[in-house]
Amino acid sequence: MLTACEVHGDPFANFPTMFLSTGSSLGFSDRVKALIDMGRNTATQVHETAEDIRGRIGKVQSGVHLMLEGKELIQEAIK
């Protein structure tokens, strides 16, 4: 997750220049809409990252379960 954040950068880094810039061709309402869209995009990225993490956790749990089953089979075979 940190890698994804580092790759995409800080989504709020441009907030001051985007919102307060006087040289921008965007009007105030357009800047607000752009900030809202940026927030939605950030929320979507966070949701996708969380879903990816849930999937990876599920795979790890499945692998641990298989290892424990294998351990039990080995212990039974040794007896």
Which H or E element spans position 33? helix 28-78
Structure tokens at 40: 């939605």
31 by Cβ neighbours in 10 Å (0-12 / 13-18 / 19+) ranks as middle
pLDDT in tens, 27-44: 888 888 888 999 999 999
What is the C-alpha separation between 46 and 53, in angstroms, rounded? 10
The residue count for the chain: 79
Q: Please tell me the pTM assigned to this model.
A: 0.53
In percent, how much of the chain has pLDDT > 70?
67
Confidence band for 15, pLDDT divided at 50, 70 and 90: low
